Structure 1
Amino acid sequence: MSSSEKDVERLDRALLRLRRFLTAPPVLPDGNDRVELSTLLVVDAAVRAAPASVKDVAEALVVTHSTASRLVSTAVDAGAVVRAPSQADRRTMLVEPTARGLAMLQRAVEFRLARLEGILDGWTPEEVAAFAGSTERFADRATWR
């Protein structure tokens, strides 16, 4: 077995160990509320694709249009986003984050970043930069589309 094959096996084992880190619970505590992870994903998609249609949300989350529509409805019910008709095409509904949704998303990002900073404590800036670059490259190739 070549050293490259051994490294691929090491990577496989490491990714299996990371599954709990990468698998978020379906419902997250947020103060006195509980927020579905899908709601945060919808808000994130709406921010990144602004103005975002339900189709844009479906593509960002890699789900069907009907699933995205249901997830958007859940996010609307949670007060995280609103739907508004597009000015350009009245048949298209746009998904816009609310102040509440943006605040929930910000708290989630702060939590994740603090967790990563704790894990990376003791790494040099160069090591963090190299890991970030390699992980981005890996994620770009591994994303299901």
Structure 2
Amino acid sequence: MDATGRRDLERLDRSLMRLRRFIETPAVLDDAGSPVELSTLLVLDAVTSGHDAAPTGSTIRDVAERLDVAHSTASRLVTRAEKAGAVTRGPSGADRRTSVVEATAAGRVLAERASQFRLARLGGITRTWDPRDVAALARLLDLFVDDKGSVDRR
């Protein structure tokens, strides 16, 4: 790697470290006076945001893969989201050993509010940007995340 390539990687590393403040949030968030665990929002995102999920719901394995956690961790997170009334868990019609997780009506409303909050926050940050720059950042972040996943699997 040449010096320019190294400087670019160092710049990327610094930017990603600074992004931690943007990404890190408290474990419990306030939603109009009601506490919501961040893990509930993550589970909702895993079961509602079109991750090629089957129309019949997502399995615990699907949630684990989408959140990049162990199956047992995903199961615990789903249990918390279920206790919060955000998702339901039931047996799969195809395999009784498999649980299917689906968002409840309240969970879908919560997921939509969370999405709108995030989009408004991103819109505020990028409000002065050229739309082509926003599109380029989105495309490059997709590429980065996809390539990160392929490196992790190796």
Q: TM-score, normalising length from structure 2?
A: 0.87
Q: Structure 1 residues 97-106 or 49-58, which shifts more?
A: 49-58
Question: Which residue of the partner structure matches residue 43 of structure 1?
Answer: 44
Letter in 2 for 1:101: G
Q: CA deviation at 1:112?
A: 0.7
Letter in 2 for 1:123: W
Question: Which residue of the partner structure matches residue 52 of structure 1?
Answer: 58
Indicate whether 1:9 and 2:34 are aligned: no
Please list, as runs of the form range in 1=range in 2, the aligned pairs for 1:89-104 lying within 5 A after superposition: 89-104=95-110
Question: Which residue of the partner structure matches residue 32 of structure 2?
Answer: 31
Question: Which residue of the partner structure matches residue 118 of structure 1?
Answer: 124
Q: CA deviation at 1:39?
A: 0.7
Query: Gapped runs of 5+ residues in structure 1?
Result: none
Q: CA deviation at 1:3?
A: 2.1
Deviations 1:16-71 (A, max 9, x none): 11111121221111112111111111112122324211111111112222211111
Query: Quick one: which of 84, 87, 107 aligns to 1:81?
Result: 87
Q: Percent identity?
A: 54
Question: Which residue of the partner structure matches residue 114 of structure 2?
Answer: 108
CA distance in 1, matches of 2:18, 2:64: 29
SS of 2:97's equivalent? coil
Letter in 2 for 1:59: E
Query: Quick one: which of 126, 131, 144 aligns to 2:137?
Result: 131
Runs of 4+ in structure 1 displaced over 4 angstroms?
none
SS of 1:28's equivalent? strand
RMSD over aligned Cα atoms: 1.5
SS of 2:30's equivalent? strand
How many residues align? The count is 145
SS of 2:127's equivalent? coil
CA distance in 2, matches of 1:88, 1:81: 20
SS of 1:121's equivalent? coil
Letter in 1 for 2:90: A
